[in-house]
Structure formats: C-alpha cells, structure tokens
Amino acid sequence: MKKLLRSKVVIATAVLTTFGAITYACSNFLDQPSQGTLDASTLTNRVGVEGALIAAYRALDCDASSAGSWGCAASNWVWGSVTSGDAHKGSNLGDQQPINDIETYIWQVGEAEGYLNQKWAQSYEGVSRANATLRLLKQVVDTKPGEFSAAEAQQIRGEALFLRAHYHFEAYRLWGHIPYYFETDTDLRKPNDAPLDSIVKLIINDLDSASAYLPLTPRNGDKGRVTKWAAEAYKGRVQVYAAALNPSYWAQALTTLRGVRASKHFALETSFDHVWTAFPAYRDGSETILAFQASVKDGEPSGWNSNWGERLNFPHSGSHFGCCGFHQPSYNLVSFFEVDSVTGLPLALTTSSWASETTYAGMDRTLDPRLDWTVGRDNVPYKDWTVHKRSWIRDASYSGPYSPKKNVHEQNAPNAEDNVGWQTTQTNDVPIHIFRYGDALLLLAEAEVEAGALDSARTIVNEIRARAGQTAQGCGSTDSAVTNRYAAFCAVAANLPMAIPLTQTPAGNPTLDTLATPWAHYRIGLYPPGSPYFATQAAARNTVHIERRLELAMEGQHFFDLRRWGGADTVIANYINTEKVHIPYLTIATAFTLPKYQFYPIPSIQIELSKVGTQQRLVQNTGW
C-alpha cells in the first residue's frame, strides 16, 4: 500500500507555515504581519501544491493546538459521543474538567468554550488549507503551465474541494449557522446570516464539483486520497442531514446513495474486527470512505501525527497503555447490546429503559458480538492483549467500569505503536474513521424507509447484521491472565485467536449466528421477511435507528443522529434519569431543551474577533 499522509508530513508542515488561516482564530492575527514564514515563491511549483494539499488533509485531526486539544479530535468523541449517552468523559473528576461541563450540557462556561473554540479553529483551519491549495494551484497553472497536466490539476482541485466541503460540514453539524469561505474571498470576517438550506447547497455544490473532477481510484495509487465515489457518498450523507430540515432531500439522498451502493466501489469489511484496527492488511480497506491517516515512526518527536485526538482514550494504569482512562462507555450503551436469547434481535426494539447492565464476564445475558469489539469489560479479553481488569479503570465510581476499545491498537499489529511523547504506549497508527461504508449503508436504509421501501431497508440492515455475526472476541492472547482464567476454552487452538467465528445454526433456523464463550453468549439474528419491525414506516425507522447506534457506537456519530432524528430532548432526559443512578455527577446536568440545544454555541471569542468596527459579523445561535 502506498503512503499518503505518512511520508509527506514534513512537506505539509513547511507549507502550512506559509498559508495562514483565512478566518477567526484565538488571537487577532489578521492585524499582524506574518513572522517566520517561508518565501511563498519557493512553493509555486508542484511540490508546493502537493504539500499544501497534504496539509489540508492533515487538518482532519488535532495538529495546531496545545496538548489540551481534545476538542478537535477527528472522531468528534467529545461532541458526538460524550454528549449522546454513548460515553462519559471518563478518567476522574480533576482531569479535563471542560469535558465534564460539555457532558452535563453546561456549554456556556468558559472551560467548555475553550473546547468549542478548538473545534471551530480546526474546522476553519481545514477550510483555510483547502482554499490555500486552490489558490496556489491556480497560480502554478497560470504561471507554469507545464507543471501539471490538465487531468492532474483537475484531480487536485477535486481533492481540495472535497476537503473544503468536509470541513464546512463539520462546522455545520456543530453550529448550523456558519460562514462559508471560498478561495476567492478577501473579506475574512464573513457573516453567518445565510439560511441553513443555503449552507447545505454550498456544501453539495462543492461535492458535485469534486465528484466531476476526481478519478474513480485514488490519485497516484495513494489509498488515503478521496475519489469520485467518496464525494458521491459524502454528498448522500449531507443530503440525509439536510432532510432533517427539508424532507425533499430524502429523495435526493436515496438517488445518491443507491448510486454509491450500485457502484460497488465500497464494501463492508468481511468482519467487524477489521474495521477499527492497526493490522496493515485492513488499513484503508473496502469500507473506508474518509479517515484520518494516523502516522507513527515518521520522525515527528512527540507523536502529533499519530492518533493524537484519541490518545486519552485508553485504559489507565495497570494496563499496557498506562493512561488516561477517558471516553468511557456508558451503562446505557453496554445494555443496548443485549439481544433476545431466541431471536438474536436487539432488546432495544421492545425496551426503552435499562434495569440491568452487562457489567461482567459470564453474566447470564445474550449479547450482540459487536459489544466486545466496542467496549472493554472486566475479565473479557481485550483484543489480543489480556483480559480487561477493574484495576485499569482510573476511577470506576466516577465514570463506570468500562473502557473504549475501537481506537486501541492490537498487540500483534506490527509497528503500530509510536513509542514517543509523554505516554509512549498510547500513540498509534489506527486510522480514525470519519465516514465509512457501514455508516453510508445505514443512511441509505433511512432514505429507503422514508421512501416507503421498507423491505429494501430490511435488506440493508440484514447486510450490516450478517457482517456483525461473522466473528466475536476470542481468547486473543496466551497471557496467563487469559489462559489461567479460561484454561479449558483457550486450550483449544480454534479459540485462541483474537477473532473467532460464530457458528451458523442448522437449517431449521438459518438466520442466527451463535457462539458461547466463558465470558459471553453471543447471538446475531436477521430480520425475516414480514418482520413486524419493518411492517410500518415508524417501526422500520426505529429499527434502523437502533442499528445505527449498535454499528457506530463510540464513533462520535450518535449525538448528531439524535438531533437530526428529532426528540433528542426526550431521549437525553430519559438517559440522564436512568444513568445518574450509576454516575452521580449527572445529577447536576442542565436540562437539554430545544431549540436552544439544536446547535452548539458559537465561541464568544470568534464573535468578538468577527467585529468590523463595533458590528459583530457572527451572530450567536438561538438561546445562547
């Protein structure tokens, strides 16, 4: 596999010192002369353009903030997971207090605003770099016409437009009312007074242009680069989000995402454990649409090019990783993976509140196998390391007994661990999925439901569930903590790998995959033709929503789903009411009310910096 963002970071670093951000930042740099920058004339060539483009990709994750830069993580774990009921801040009371304020919906305080400002700055830094690439490309094409072929120039433009659309969409998901920047803009303090639908149309226009310019396969064979079908898939994503405000977008999303599926450019990975992984064989595989290409052992001394935005999200002391215990899955999420012991279908279909939790290994519960690829639970093997232990939790009385798992590298993945920086065992090169095909398929299932094609939606959900039923967490390690505890089971060679297959049941019930291990009884059921869960549009809609949470848990998507589905205030209130029994600090949570919480508050420092004279160009969102 060719490398994209791994071997070219040095060039990108040089370029980004030349091109400053086009919009607001933490200081009034717009009135300051540039200092310590390169001579731009040295970059008016192929190397400069390619470096500028790599710098635009690099902004997908935190790279321009201090060590406390978790608000700009590519996965949006702070904004899409911690606020949704999927996870708690984790760690302990004294560490990263701003995330506690965000989790309890106290967003107007200065500590929370600092995190919001990190996300705003990172989003518009990405826009800035994409636009800088477009300007430099035009300059090179105009002054050195032999530097790029017409096809090359067109493809570079397509990549930059895709990235510009993505960064604006990230800002739109959080704040809704945002300014939209083009490479030709000279007024860098633009207002945010455009209707929301017009922002959506600008994002879609950029994606349409990108789709027209981009090749079918990654340019230069670099797998991390976006393609025509990545632009089409992303457009379908934007159209689904737009449908929350304007239902006419459902028909557009249906056409777009059906086209993506029919292209067969993307495909589900063969098993769920191949989606979030450090194993090179599955890096940028068939399911990747857009991911941050984490890079390690590339000469960067502090690990900035690794999974920086996720690096807090590992088990704490006592584990191999040693730090830091953040992004801990909630009791509510873990219980959500319980299934009916006979049908293998989610109990969430019939249960809206959770009286019990799948807390420990061997509990008398039947589980979706995706749980133990998503969550670290006590005495359950933790990928291929050893069993998860309560001693790995920094403060279980504060944020519960669970650890995140998807973002963690495997012990046997070669060269995945960076071994630099202030905690050398927690930086890795696991690609951070921003948008993947499993997500796109479930968005298509939503569009099918809204079109009344309920059986098509059922087929898609079954495709997702069939993949989930391929493998479950196996012993994974010959570590004594595993082999002594589960001696008989792990002595069988077939059970020793990290991932072991579920067994298909006999023909009498062919829709079920099942596996019994000492730590869990796993079962996955498919929805048969005529299933009551797809009998009506309302039932089918609920079923697809449940599947999205199961499939995308801990990936920073759920909060944005709740907001676009409607009724987020009720869902979050119910979650707080039950979860606070286990997590006492949730009793101080501010009531999540609409329309106030429809969007995050725009950082006040950005509003202040938007002033022209005494006029504020940026207007705060409703209720803040």
Tell me whether residue 121 is exposed, middle or buried, using C-beta atoms within 10 angstroms of its C-beta: 0 to 12, 13 to 18, 19 or more.
buried
- Per the structure block, which two tokens stand in for 228? 């025509």
Rg (CA), the chain: 24
pLDDT band at 508 (very low <50, low <70, confident <90, very high): low
- Per the structure block, which two tokens stand in for 238? 């934007």
- Per the structure block, which two tokens stand in for 19? 């091109």
Higher-confidence residue: 422 or 465? 465
Choose among 16, 63, 23, 64: nearest CA to 43: 16
> Per-residue pLDDT averaged across 199-221, rounded?
97
C-alpha 484/C-alpha 418 separation (Å) is 31
Residue 362 pLDDT: 83
Residue 3 pLDDT: 44
Those residues whose C-beta lies under 8 Å from the C-beta of residue 515, and which sit 6 or more positions away, are 369, 472, 500, 501, 502, 503, 521, 522, 523
Choose among 400, 399, 333: nearest CA to 372: 333
Q: Where are the beta strands (DSSP E) in 340-465?
A: 366-367, 375-376, 403-404, 432-436
Residue 353 pLDDT: 57
> Per-residue pLDDT averaged across 554-572, rounded?
97
pLDDT band at 22 (very low <50, low <70, confident <90, very high): very low
Give the model confidence (pLDDT) of 450-474 as tens digits: 999 999 999 999 999 999 999 999 9
Q: Where are the beta strands (DSSP E) in 360-481?
A: 366-367, 375-376, 403-404, 432-436, 471-473
Number of H helices and E strands in the chain, helices first, is 19, 14
Residue 200 pLDDT: 98
Decide if pLDDT at 256 tops 60. yes
Q: Quick check: 273 and 279 in contact, CB under 8 A?
A: no
- Residue in the structure block whose two tokens are 């830094």: 125
Choose among 249, 432, 401: nearest CA to 328: 401
- Per the structure block, which two tokens stand in for 130? 């994409």
Residue 364 pLDDT: 84
Decide if pLDDT at 94 tops 80. yes
Choose among 425, 427, 410: nearest CA to 278: 410
C-alpha 397/C-alpha 400 separation (Å) is 6
CA 259 to chain centroid, in Å, comes to 23
CATH number at 308-556: 1.25.40.390
CA angle 411–413–416, rounded 5-degree value: 95
**Stretch (H or E) spanning 205:** helix 196-213
Residue 400 pLDDT: 95
C-alpha 16/C-alpha 129 separation (Å) is 7
Those residues whose C-beta lies under 8 Å from the C-beta of residue 396, and which sit 6 or more positions away, are 390
> Per-residue pLDDT averaged across 330-340, rounded?
95
Residue 389 pLDDT: 96
Decide if pLDDT at 136 tops 90. yes
- Per the structure block, which two tokens stand in for 321? 């990783």
CATH number at 9-82+91-248+600-616: 1.25.40.390
Decide if pLDDT at 548 tops 50. yes
Question: What percentage of the chain has pLDDT greater than the value 90?
Answer: 84
Tell me whether residue 286 is exposed, middle or buried, using C-beta atoms within 10 angstroms of its C-beta: 0 to 12, 13 to 18, 19 or more.
middle
Those residues whose C-beta lies under 8 Å from the C-beta of residue 110, and which sit 6 or more positions away, are none
Residue 361 pLDDT: 87
SS3 letters across 230-274? HHHHHHHHHHHHHHCCCCCHHHHHHHHHHHHHHHCCCCCCCCHHH
For the ranges 5-9, 250-254, 480-484, 500-504, the lowest mean pLDDT is seen at 5-9
Choose among 326, 327, 432: nearest CA to 61: 432
> Per-residue pLDDT averaged across 553-562, rounded?
98
pLDDT band at 355 (very low <50, low <70, confident <90, very high): low
Question: Quick check: bond before 145 cis, omega within 30?
Answer: no
Those residues whose C-beta lies under 8 Å from the C-beta of residue 227, and which sit 6 or more positions away, are 214, 215, 216, 217, 218, 265
Every domain of the chain and the residues it spans = 9-82+91-248+600-616, 308-556
pLDDT band at 511 (very low <50, low <70, confident <90, very high): low
For the ranges 159-168, 334-343, 436-445, the lowest mean pLDDT is seen at 334-343
Decide if pLDDT at 269 tops 50. yes
C-alpha 434/C-alpha 556 separation (Å) is 9
- Per the structure block, which two tokens stand in for 564? 């676009």
| Cross-strand bridge partners of residue 472 | 500
Residue 18 pLDDT: 40
> Per-residue pLDDT averaged across 115-133, rounded?
96
Q: Are both 9-82+91-248+600-616 and 308-556 of the same fold?
A: yes
pLDDT band at 350 (very low <50, low <70, confident <90, very high): very high
Tell me whether residue 62 is exposed, middle or buried, using C-beta atoms within 10 angstroms of its C-beta: 0 to 12, 13 to 18, 19 or more.
buried
Choose among 598, 311, 432: nearest CA to 5: 432
- Per the structure block, which two tokens stand in for 539? 């039932």
Ramachandran assignment for 461, one of left (phi > 0), alpha (psi -120 to 50 degrees), beta (any other): alpha
> Per-residue pLDDT averaged across 505-528, rounded?
82
Give the model confidence (pLDDT) of 367-378 as tens digits: 999 999 999 999
pLDDT band at 302 (very low <50, low <70, confident <90, very high): confident
Rounded mean pLDDT of the chain?
A: 90
Decide if pLDDT at 32 tops 50. no
Q: How many CB atoms lie within 10 A of CB 427?
A: 29
Angle of the 46-58 helix axis to the 9-16 helix axis, nearest 10: 90
Return the amino acid letter for 154. Q
Q: Are strands 432-436 and 288-292 parallel, antiparallel or unpaired?
A: antiparallel
C-alpha 50/C-alpha 160 separation (Å) is 11
Decide if pLDDT at 13 tops 80. no
SS3 623: coil
> Per-residue pLDDT averaged across 287-305, rounded?
93
Q: What is the signed CA dihedral for 592, 593, 599, 603, rounded to 10 degrees?
A: -70
Tell me whether residue 186 is exposed, middle or buried, using C-beta atoms within 10 angstroms of its C-beta: 0 to 12, 13 to 18, 19 or more.
exposed
> Per-residue pLDDT averaged across 598-619, rounded?
95
Residue 510 pLDDT: 55
Q: Quick check: 537 and 511 in contact, CB under 8 A?
A: no
pLDDT band at 2 (very low <50, low <70, confident <90, very high): very low
